[in-house]
Amino acid sequence: MDLSGFLAGLTQGTQAYKRNRMQRLHRMLPKRKVVCVGDSTQSDPEAYADIYRLFGGGWVRRIFIRKVTGIAGMDESKNEPERFEKAFEGVPRGVWTVFEDPAELYEAVDGLVKD
């Protein structure tokens, strides 16, 4: 990351920063398909859902969110199903997946490769 990206990350909220980086990536690679992988500790679900709503399924093929557990001091409400449903409102259910076990992600990605 360059210094400007680091400074932007300090001054913007996490969701806005991630959305900004994804928009920049889209400008560089508009014809590519992307798979977003994040976790539940910050605002990955909200940021990636925003990007899907902005660019649609033509650019964002799938979104995978790892449900992080066992972290001291983490707000457990970040793992509530309602949070994910709200974040992904308007995003087709088949596009986003919340997983805990990495094996679930491997299986899903294998399925994408076979498509």
Read off the pLDDT of residues 29-84 as tens digits, 9 standing for 90 and up.
Answer: 999 999 999 999 889 999 999 999 999 888 999 999 999 988 888 788 899 999 99
Q: In one letter, which amino acid is 8? A: A
What does pLDDT average to over the chain?
87
Residue 77 zone, left/alpha/beta (φ > 0; ψ -120 to 50; rest): alpha
C-alpha 10 chain-centroid distance: 20
pTM, entire model? 0.83
Which pair of tokens denotes residue 56? Answer: 């649609």
Give the pLDDT band of residue 4 (cuts 50, 70, 90): low
Where does the pLDDT of residue 3 fall: very low under 50, low under 70, confident under 90, or very high at 90 and above? low
pLDDT digits (tens, 9 = 90+) for 50-60: 999 999 888 99
Q: Specify the higher pLDDT residue, 11 or 90.
A: 90
Q: Nearest-CA neighbor of 100 among 82, 79, 85?
A: 79
Return the pLDDT at 8.
52
Between CA 106 and CA 10 the distance in angstroms is 33
Which residue in this structure is represented by tokens 């498509």? 115
